[in-house]
Structure 1
């Protein structure tokens, strides 16, 4: 004899009980047709919710997983889960290793081959994006895995000896921010443009019409960047 799944058996039982259910509805809600219609609709909605929540294997598995997760948290087993290290790209925003222009070493004296200055507005040559320089290194300072990902072996050797700049760009959305660490050969200075980029106020006090003026803490790191060449 074939086995009937429990869920199917329950559905058959509910179908067979449809006539008694209609009778009960008519008794509970009176003889008004509109009242009986609304009561029947409500009963069908309750049945659909039951079928989705209690007769659905996926819903039961999700519930069981949640209960197991709660139990593991209660006994402290979540402490055994090891967090992965953040991707290298997140270090572009900030890090304590001095990578991507984050070094707290004072950039003085300023090498003559570093052409751009903190606070200057620049255009990225390939994507034609406009940003603002917030830091620079006389030579590239980045993790080896990032260098290998961005450059070929030949390009990497040349890029490591090239001044690099940390540049802030506005993202696609008005409040979004993009950070890049770019070689000097990929940037050009532009004037007469004041880009609207989030977080610039953390680095600069104002825009003087040509460039952004550094906050005191940033000026201490780049003391010669506001002294223009004569």
Structure 2
């Protein structure tokens, strides 16, 4: 009940484009759909409440630090020759910064340019995991594995140490293969491309405009992060 008025307040303080508002609503709906099975759990509501408080507190701090932005500063984001520039200023970038400041699991908000020659696959391609068989769509990549040391020690054992020095990909997993919505981080060796296959995942519309029959086409913010993958 508190989210809607608070979202309205923040929107008035920091106006969003239609694309940003749509993305925010999609994120909220996705989070609710993931929570639906545990909606009556007190722990679930407590976690959601504290997550909301943390998000709102951080946003208000950011707004305060910006002060009263001049119209010229606002214009540099919206008054451009590229109609997609405004849409490209997506909240997803800010979410990535807040979610994982270290940029682990292909979570860095820095554009991947130039594109490293050792990265074989691209954002939007549909894949199948060679070992576990699940399908998914690539939403990001790192030219070498970027993850906490504990995770690397567990997932890249000594006989697979080379996995840490080659490309790793962030993948939205098809919920037909794993019913609980998941995002995995997969080494290139375990990926194979599949064609004419759509992926079902509650967050897929947050990253892609649509499926063209062979691959998913990225939203403007994702195009800016991976400009050479399109």
- Which TM class, normalised by the smaller chain length? 0.5 to 0.7
TM-score (norm 1): 0.55
Q: Equivalent of 2:112, from 107, 113, 119?
A: 107
1:188 aligns to what?
Answer: 192
Residue of structure 2 in register with 1:13 after alignment: none
Of the three residues 204, 210, 215, the one matched with 1:211 is 215
CA shift at 1:104, angstroms?
Answer: 1.1
* 1:220 correspondence with 2:224: yes
For 1:123 and 1:101, the matched residues in 2 are separated by: 18
Residue 199 in structure 1 maps to residue 199 in structure 2: no
Query: How many residue pairs are counted as aligned between the two chains?
Result: 133
Structure 1 residue 153: deviation in Å?
2.8
Distance 1:124 1:173 in 2: 11
Please say which structure displays the higher CA radius of gyration: 1
User: How far apart are 1:175 and its partner, in Å?
Assistant: 6.8
Runs of 4+ in 1 over 4 A off after TM superposition: 172-175
* Among 134, 149, 153, the residue aligned to 1:148: 153
Aligned partner of residue 149 in structure 1, secondary structure: helix
- Which is bigger in relative contact order (C-alpha 8 A, separation at least 6)? 2
2:132 matches 1:127 = yes
TM-score by length of 2: 0.55
How big is each residue's C-alpha offset from its partner over 1:46-87, in whole Å with a ceiling of 9 and x where there is no partner?
xxxxxxxxxxxxxxxxxxxxxxxxxxxxxxxxxxxxxxxxxx
1:165 aligned to 153, 166, 169, which one? 169
Of Structure 1 and Structure 2, the greater helix share is in: 2
Say which SS state the counterpart of residue 147 (structure 1) adopts: helix
Q: Which runs of 5+ in 2 are unaligned?
A: 1-95
